[in-house]
A and B are shown apart, each in its own frame.
Chain A
Amino acid sequence: MVSVPSPTHGTHSVTAVEQPPVPVKLVIAGGFGVGKTTAVGSISEIRPLTTEAAITEVAAGVDDLSHTPGKTTTTVAMDFGCITIDPTLKLYLFGTPGQDRFGFMWDDVVEGALGGLVIVDTRRLDDCYAAVDYFEHKDIPFAVAVNAFDGEVHHNLDEVRWALDVSDHVPLIVFDARATGSVRDALLVVLEVALSRAEDTMTG
């Protein structure tokens, strides 16, 4: 196999047809069926797209793979959308499955993210522990958003914060994944966390 020495930058002497925008991304995490794709679709300027990313290694030995001995790689769907901020800046939103056995994939997607939004269904709090832990350990700015299915929240927020063991400095909000304005505001909460952290870093 030929190893091609590649430059560390991509645009050296070749002429690109069109200059792409600077891409930034937010990650939307949570268990299956919690409203990740709904949230992405509510605010994305394109219909959510799906791509398959690999999960390997950490998936080994998990029940549903045990039927295929020796298989250590499978794929999982990841939905995403985008918002053009201006011609030179584009925000991507990636929805990632919340189960901790997808840890490998999280690193792949979360690396370089401005922040994360963990979506919670109060009827199934267990499904979001992994995501909360992940963002805390990775020290990535994030907020927790309770999805108010049918306008109903089944627990008060103090109970949710206590049950999830979310630190006081992590914003905990209620939102509606189906409503554009509500998703926008939830993402703004995440970005404000990211901004204040960046400002703190600046001022030392």
Chain B
Amino acid sequence: MAGGEPGPGDEADGRAQGPSEPAGRAPAIRPFLLTAGRVAGGGAGPPLPVETQVVATSAGLAALRSLAFEQHDIVAACRRPQSVAELAAGLRLHLNVVRVLAEDLRAAGRLAVHVPNAGTTQDISVLRRVIDGLRAVPDSRDTLRDSG
């Protein structure tokens, strides 16, 4: 694939001329820079399901000081296990950017990525546990605690 092509921002939009609106365009280009133009899944497999749990490894936390920007933020946030979706929401990153970076960090041994087992949807014991757990939810919740 041609995912490594440099400078996607240069040709992303013919209407953007020179430095007239660099600030406005940055959010659109930034995700490409973060992932070197790659999109989720990298063509090597399906993208990580949104509920995939990610958690920092001890090696990842030990290497935290050497990580920069979003990679640093992801590993730091993953001291507490959370889903890819929560991570994206908490760090205000695009879901697909988090997917790519999480796979990178896994490959580097800095994150453990627990892809859900596809058989879970048909697992009767899991379904029963979810049903029992949901039944225990009271008729009204008092106050929501803030996430994150």
Q: Is A156 close to B, CB under 8 A?
A: no
Contact of A108 among B50, B89, B104 (CB under 8 A): B50
Instruction: Flag if B133 contacts A14 (CB, 8 Å).
Output: no
Check if B131 sits within 8 Å of A192, measured CB to CB: yes
Chain B interfacial residues counted at CB < 8 A: 70
Q: For residues 112 through 131 of chain A, which have their beta carbon under 8 Å from a beta carbon of chain B?
A: 112-114
Majority DSSP secondary structure for residues of B touching A: mixed
Say yes or no for A62: interface residue by CB 8 A criterion: no
Within B80-104, the residues touching A (CB, 8 Å) are 80-83, 85-86, 88-90, 94-96, 103-104
Give Cα A16–Cα B111 distance, bound, in whole angstroms. Answer: 7
- When the two chains form their complex, are residues A85 and B134 in contact, meaning their CB atoms are under 8 A apart? yes
Cβ of A6 and Cβ of B94 under 8 Å apart?
no
The contact size tier of chain A is 35 or more
Q: Could you say which of A1, A83, A91 has the most chain B C-beta atoms within 10 Å of its C-beta?
A: A1
Name which residue of chain B comes closest to A197, CB basis: B122
* B123 shortest CB reach to chain A, Å: 7
Chain B residues closer than 8 Å to A41, beta-carbon distance: 144
List 4 tightest A-B contacts by C-beta distance, closest first: A1-B4, A20-B81, A85-B133, A181-B139
- A113 CA / B96 CA spacing, docked (Å): 19
Residues of chain B contacted by A21 (CB below 8 angstroms): 53, 81
**When chains A and B are docked, how far (Å) is the Cα of A198 from the Cα of B131?**
14
B79 interface residue, CB < 8 Å from A?
yes
